[in-house]
Amino acid sequence: MQPVSQTGFRLAPGALDAPAQAVLLNEVLEKAATAPFYRPVTPGGKPMSVEMTNFGPLGWMTDAGGYRYQPTHPATGQPWPEIPEVLLRLWAELADPEVPPDACLVNLYREGAKMGLHQDRDETDFSLPVLSVSLGDTAVFRIGGTSRRDPTTSVRLASGDVCLLAGPARLAHHGIDRIIAGSSRLVPGGGRINLTLRRAGPLA
Ligand code: SIN
Ligand code: MN
């Protein structure tokens, strides 16, 4: 993996080749048929432009009750589907061989969707990385430091790219400025799907 900046953010461009991307996308869409994408609302009551679902024992949620992880889908009340095996293998290889992830947030960005600069800090422990896999349209990703006022860098994340927020970058501010609509034909209906694996609960 390539270090991208002083922050410790690392990028593996094209870690998944085109056939692997297609297989993973199919699996994601199949699982999303039982745990449908929904539009989350911020604690302040604002609908997000990104649609979300989750895989794994815990799923990241936002609504009027605040940010949290929970074991069930807010609309169906059912447990989230299992994390795809290929993602567990990537995590073991690139993030941690001993402790598996217990949460996989699935973000769907249709044309015009974006995500403001934020930190991933709803997990119990920050010692393991966050691993992110991009599918579909290229995203203009922005990454800064642990302080919101730190300078930021913009990095393009294309389909098949895998990146890691590890070490000093684990609590780096990051977000999606925009999606380059039409830059990939992978996602039916257009857009981008991002999968982020985390260890949300305690390590043992
Ligand atoms: C996130 O921070 O939850 C998603 C980042 C991305 O879409 O690449
Ligand atoms: Mn994040």
Between CA 166 and CA 11 the distance in angstroms is 11
Q: Which of 132, 165, 192 to mutate to test the pocket of ligand 1 (most atoms within 8 A of CB)?
A: 132
Report phi then psi at 147, rounded to 5.
Answer: -95, 140
Determine, yes or no, domain membership for 203. no
pLDDT single digits (tens) 20-75 = 999 999 999 999 999 999 999 999 999 999 999 999 999 999 999 999 999 999 99
* CATH classification of the domain holding 68: 2.60.120.590
Ranges of residues in the chain whose predicted pLDDT is under 70 = 2-7
In this structure, is residue 124 part of a structural domain?
A: yes
Can you tell me the distance from the alpha carbon of 110 to that of 37, in angstroms, rounded to the nearest whole number?
Answer: 12
Long-range contacts of 41-46 (CB under 8 A, 24+ apart): 43/67
Residue 76 lies in a domain: yes
Residue 8's pLDDT is 74
In a domain, 204, yes or no: no
Q: What is the pLDDT of residue 4?
A: 62
Q: CB count, 10 Å around CB of 135? A: 24
Q: Which domain holds residue 74?
A: 2-38+47-198
The total of structural domains in the chain comes to: 1
Element (H, E) at 59: strand 59-63
Ligand 1 center to residue 174 CA distance, Å? Answer: 8
Best residue among 49, 51, 137, 196 to mutate for probing ligand 1, ranked by most atoms within 8 Å of CB: 196
